[in-house]
Chains A and B, each alone.
Chain A
Amino acid sequence: MIKKTLSILGIVIVLVYVLIKAFVAVDTTEIVVITQFGKPVRVVSEAGLTVKWPDPVQSVIRLDKRLQALDSNVGEFLTQDKKNLVLSNFIVWRILDAKKFIQSVKDMSSAETRLSDLVGSELGMAIGTYPLSSFLTTDEGGTKIPEISGKVARASRQHALQEFGIDVMAVLLRRLSFPEQNLRSVYDRMRAERGRMAKKYRAEGEEEAAKIMTQTDKRVREILAVAYRESQITKGRGDAESIRIYAEAFERDPDFYKLTRTLDAYRKFLDEKTTLILSADSPLFRFLECPPEKQ
């Protein structure tokens, strides 16, 4: 009785094990490769439940089928005109042919190493055929970087698909710079350039200011000179008019004018400091010694 129960229990356990091992849940992010005694026999890329022979007859290898972004290490490359460029790029890739992937590179980390090497060499080759001005430019046409990385991506895709079952979707540059020792001279040049421009701006400002100042001077002097001329003319006209008026009046009787004018002048210039020597027979004293009755 107990023996029977135990044997039933044993069979149930084995059945459950077989059932569990026979069913494989494939995640939406995965490709599952089913191997039979180590040899890949089937690739399942649709998510959901699938069946296989239980272990140890068939087992599964799970691979990530999502897009991967792989950073490549910073590397120095030489352009056609022998300039050093420091680049780092990243590769957008995914596993396309799972069987080939397993047979050639086996796991993700070795895939990354191989892919990185492949893209690195393609990139080096591509960069060597372009001058620096294809990368850094202010021309209308713009940089050739998209063209170059497109070329590299195409070449890498072909190789990677054939050799590793990997689909390279893009190779993009995320850093482009000069080597450390060259950067110093870039900094120096930037400083010098800015310094030169600063000097130029200041000099231009001073020049323009001086121009404005001298123009102002000129204008001011012009204004004052014109005003002087006009005021002198006005004054002259007034003077002329007054001379005419005086002359006209005085012409009527020059003797009377002379008389009054001379007397006025005497009043002015004969002051306390003057000593007058008067002759006794001056008309002033006519009546002094001989009163008029006597005449």
Chain B
Amino acid sequence: MEETKGDLKRLFRHARSVAGWLIFLLVLLYLASGSYSVKPEQRGVVKRFGQVVNDNVLPGIHYRWPWPIESVIRLRTTEIRSLTVSFGHGKDSQEEKMSSQEDLEAEKPIWVQETDRSFSAESSQAAEETSALLTGDENLVITKLMIQYMISEPKGFLYNTEDAEGLLKRIVQAAIVNKVVSMSVDKVLTTGRFDLQKKVNEVIMGASDSYGLGIRIASVQIKNIQPPAGVASAFRDLASAREDMHKFIQEAQGDRNRRLPRARSEAMKMRTEAAAHAKEVVEMAHGDAQRFLAAWEEYRKAKTVTAYRFYMEAMEEILPRVRKLISDPETERYIRSPRTGPSQE
């Protein structure tokens, strides 16, 4: 009995020194677990017993008190996040929801009760996304918006709302519904896009301020806005009807633009021809007159001879080609001889 007691005592003493070292080492390790790093694209938020003590830890290596005193959450703040909101696009274009859970590299203290209360919206969303928007004149349109934003205040983004992105998305939906119900379908599909975009932007900024979402809007883009598939063909036909209208008019204008110059050129041709004719007949008259007068001048000097010569020359020319019957008035009295000579005076 004594022996074993002595052994135990020795063992105990030995163990004490080992345990001392061990505890020292453990304390050292424990203290070392307080160092952490923040990557360049991240910002850190440090909480001490749940209270935020530093909401903007810049990138680099830092130290905090180890668990359970302090904890750190790192958040990617420099990246641009996007959120898609769609109406009436069906399930296939379900938003590519960016899960905020992925972005949070959180060290969860064990005493923080998990309030993981995911919305029952996920299932009802599929059904709701299929509903088109009603316009002010009771038409339907479908649309898809993309909102890009950045986290401007990590603390607000993380802790003011249970789900900042979820709230943002709903606010955008409400803004779109509220705007579109006071616009006509034609306005929504044409000039109203800009208004809608502006309105959504305004509403988000206002809501971000009043609810402390901790985000800054980079852009609001309307990816598409169009009539629903069931009536798209009617809208397309209307668009082509509008084009047809312009086409008809343009064709008529084109026809006019072709025909008028042609008519003008024809008119010009007529006038020119008329002028040419006038000139021609006058010139010919002059020529004929001159010729006549010149001939007459000479003829006057020897009237009888020239007249006779003219007459004979003509006969020479004519008689060889015609058939001739020569009658004797004595024998064939009944035949009236035509006057073949120059007019009988």
Contact = CB atoms under 8 A, between A and B. Distances in A.
A154 interface: no
Interface stretch (B23-31, B32-40, B145-153, B284-292): B284-292
A201 B140 contact: no
Contacts of A202: 241, 244-245, 248
Contact of A276 (B212, B251, B263, B323): B323
A174 B300 CA distance: 119
A253 B289 CA distance: 12
A230 B274 contact: yes
Contacts of B329: 279-281
A178 B48 CA distance: 52
B52 A284 contact: no
A143 interface: yes
A278 to B, nearest CB: 5
Contact of A253 (B111, B160, B183, B296): B296
B267 interface: yes
Nearest to A141: B182
B326 interface: yes
A152 to B, nearest CB: 13
B271 A279 contact: no
B289 A219 contact: no
A64 interface: yes
Contacts of A10: none
Contacts, number: 355
Interface in A237-282: 237-239, 241-246, 248-250, 252-253, 256-260, 262-263, 266-267, 270-272, 274-282
B222 interface: no
A90 B121 CA distance: 11
Contact of A234 (B251, B256, B274): B274
A267 B322 CA distance: 11
Interface stretch (A22-30, A33-41, A157-165): A22-30
A19 to B, nearest CB: 12
A143 B174 CA distance: 13
B268 A227 contact: yes
Contacts of B281: 238-239, 241-242
Interface of B: 47-52, 68, 109, 111-113, 115, 117, 119-121, 124, 127-128, 131-132, 134-140, 159-163, 166-167, 170-171, 173-174, 177-178, 181-185, 187, 211-212, 227-228, 230-231, 234-235, 237-238, 240-242, 244-249, 251-253, 255-256, 259-260, 262-264, 266-268, 270-271, 273-275, 277-282, 284-286, 288-290, 292-293, 295-296, 299-300, 307, 310-311, 313-315, 317-319, 321-329, 335, 337-338, 340-343
Given A177-B131, A275-B325, 6 more contacts: A136-B138, A172-B170, A173-B174, A202-B244, A212-B249, A239-B278
A110 interface: no
A263 B174 contact: no
Contact of B326 (A74, A199, A210, A280): A280
B310 A259 contact: yes
A191 B231 contact: yes
A206 B248 contact: yes
Contact of A272 (B115, B322, B340): B322
A48 B50 contact: yes
Given A198-B241, A209-B248, A209-B252, A242 B282 contact: yes
Nearest to B314: A263
Contact of B112 (A27, A90, A172): A27
Nearest to B136: A138
Interface SS, A side: helix
A248 B81 CA distance: 104
A173, A239, A242, A281: residue with the most chain B Cβ atoms closer than 10 Å: A242
Interface of A: 25-30, 46-49, 62, 64, 66-69, 71, 73-74, 86, 88, 90, 92, 108-109, 135-139, 142-143, 145-146, 169, 172-178, 183, 186-187, 189-191, 193-195, 197-199, 201-202, 204-206, 208-213, 215-216, 219-220, 223-224, 226-228, 230-235, 237-239, 241-246, 248-250, 252-253, 256-260, 262-263, 266-267, 270-272, 274-285
B323 A92 contact: no
A27 B282 CA distance: 117
Most buried by A among B50, B266, B267: B50
B48 A69 contact: no
B49 A260 contact: no
Contact of A28 (B52, B132, B136, B263): B52
Contacts of B181: 135-137, 143, 145, 176
Contact of B178 (A48, A143, A259, A263): A143
16 contacts: A28-B159, A29-B159, A68-B161, A69-B163, A173-B174, A186-B140, A197-B238, A198-B234, A198-B241, A201-B245, A216-B252, A234-B278, A235-B278, A245-B286, A277-B337, A278-B337
